[in-house]
Structure 1
Amino acid sequence: MDFGLDPIRVRVRHSEPLLSIGLHAVLQTIRAIQLMDEDPAGHEEAPHVLITDWSTGLQLVESGDPATAVSIRLLVISSQVREQPVRAALRQGVHGLLLSACSTRELLSAIFALASGRSYVCAEVAQRMATSYSREPLTAREEDVLALLCRGQCNKSIAFRLGIAPGTVKCHVKAILGKLAASSRTEAAIIATELGMVEFAA
C-alpha cells in the first residue's frame, strides 16, 4: 500500500474509555496520521487501520462486519492475551496485536506496518507465542479448565461451572500439567500466568 504524501487514516473503536482517550491524544499529534471519528457516518473513505479491543476485534472478524472489509486492517490493543485465541484471531483476520502497556513508538510501528499490508505482533506477545510452539498447545476446553484452576477452584467446582463430570476435569488437569511440564496445580497456574495464557476477569 503506497501512501505517498497522503496520511494514514486511522479510526479508534476501543471499549476502554481511558485507553481510547489516550490513543486519540497521541495519534492526533502525528502528522502522518489522519485520525477519523469513531462514528463512520459521514465519511466517504474507510480507515486504513481500525484500532480496537480484543473482544470487539474478534466479534468483527467473526461477524463479517463491513468495517472489516479487505482494505481495512485490524489492530487489537489489549491488557492481556491468551495464546489460543491469538492464533485463531490472526488466522481469521486480526492483523496486529499490541499490549496496552506498549510504547508510542511501538504503536506507530504497528500502525505503519498494518497500513503497508504487513502484520504486527508486539515483541512480548511474539516471545510468548514462540515459547508456546515448543510445547503441545492446550485445547479450548483445557484452557477453560486452566482459567478456573488459576482462580483456585477445585475439580468439583470446575466441573459444575463447565457442566462436565469431575472425572473429566481430572483428565483435563492431568493433560494440562503434562503440557506445561508442571508438577502441581499451583506450578501450572504460575506458568500460565507468566506466559499470559489466562485472562482474569475484573
Structure 2
Amino acid sequence: MENRVIYIASADAGWLNMVAAGMASIFEEIQFTTVNDVQGLWHLPSSALVIYDKASLGNPTALLINPRERGGKWLIVNADSLDEESVPGLISLGFSGLIVKNQTLERMPRAIRTLTANELWFSRHAMSLSLKQNFNLSSQPTNAIHVLSAKYNLSVREQQVFLCLVQGQANKDIALAMNLSPSTIKCHVAVILQKTGKQGRSQVSALLLEDALECVI
C-alpha cells in the first residue's frame, strides 16, 4: 500500500482520538490526520481518503459536501440504516463508501483497504437497492432524483412517491400504481413535504429545477 494521508473528521474528540490511534496501529504505513470539521478539506489528491463521522458532523449532503468538487475518496461512517437507501444519490455525488453505526469500528479497516484499492465500499443490501432504483427510474432524470433523495434522507418508498409527485400524478393514481391505499400515499406525501421543507406538491416538483440551478451556479 503506497504512502498516503487519511483524514478522520469528527466533532466527537473522544471518538476521533480512539479511532485515529486504532487505525494507526493497524496501518503503520499510513499517515492519519484528525480534523474537527471538513471546512479545510479541498483540492485533495486522488490518493487521499476522508473518513466522515456523520453522527457528530451531520448529513454531508444536507451540508452540500460534494466529493467530486473537493477531491479524494470519502467514506461516511456512523451512518443510520436509512442512509443505505440513499446510496444512489451518494454515489452520484462522488462518495465512495458508507458504514452504518453499529458496524463502523468492525468494518473500517476492511473499508480502508478496499477504498485505497480504488474500489467502492457499500453493503450488498445498499448496492442491491441502488441497482433496483436505477432500473425503476431508467427513463427519468435519475441523477437529480438520487441526489435529492440522499439530501433529504428519503426512504425507498418515499423516493417512489417523490418521483410520482414530480411527474404530476394525483394521490389516487399513485395509490393505484403502487397498490397502496390513498391514505398511505397521503402520509408519504406529508412526510416528503416535512423533510424537504416545502408547502405543497408544486414546490416539491420544483426541487428538480432548483437542483439543476445549484449545479449550474
Normalised by the shorter chain, which TM-score bucket?
0.5 to 0.7
Match of 2:59 in 1: 55
> Which runs of structure 1 show a deviation greater than 4 angstroms over 4 or more consecutive aligned residues?
15-19, 130-141, 183-189
CA contact (8 A) 1:9 1:48 kept: yes
The SS at the match of 2:76 is: strand
Q: How does 1:72-91 map to 2 (within 5 A)?
A: 72-77=72-77, 78-79=79-80, 80-81=82-83, 83=85, 85-91=86-92
1:5-46: CA deviations, max 9, x gaps? x3x4211113566654553353233234421131698xxx96
2 CA distance for matches of 1:135 and 1:102? 29
- Coordinate RMSD, CA, aligned: 4.5
Q: How does 1:22-171 map to 2 (within 5 A)?
A: 22-32=18-28, 33-38=30-35, 48-52=48-52, 53=54, 55-56=59-60, 59-61=64-66, 64=69, 68-69=70-71, 72-77=72-77, 78-79=79-80, 80-81=82-83, 83=85, 85-102=86-103, 104-130=105-131, 132=133, 135=136, 171=170
More helix by share: 2
Matched, 1:11 2:7: yes
CA contact (8 A) 2:97 2:120 kept: yes
Deviation of 1:112 after TM superposition, in Å, equals 1.6
CA contact (8 A) 1:177 1:185 kept: no
1 CA distance for matches of 2:26 and 2:84? 31
1:117-168: CA deviations, max 9, x gaps? 2221123423443554575599669x97x77x99xxxxxxxxxxxxxxxxx8
CA contact (8 A) 2:87 2:127 kept: no
- TM-score by length of structure 2 reads 0.50
CA contact (8 A) 2:8 2:50 kept: yes
AA aligned to 1:102 is Q
The SS at the match of 1:120 is: coil
2 CA distance for matches of 1:172 and 1:19? 45
Instruction: Give the share of equivalent positions with the same residue, in percent.
Output: 12
Unaligned ranges ≥5, structure 1:
151-167, 190-198
Deviation of 1:183 after TM superposition, in Å, equals 4.5
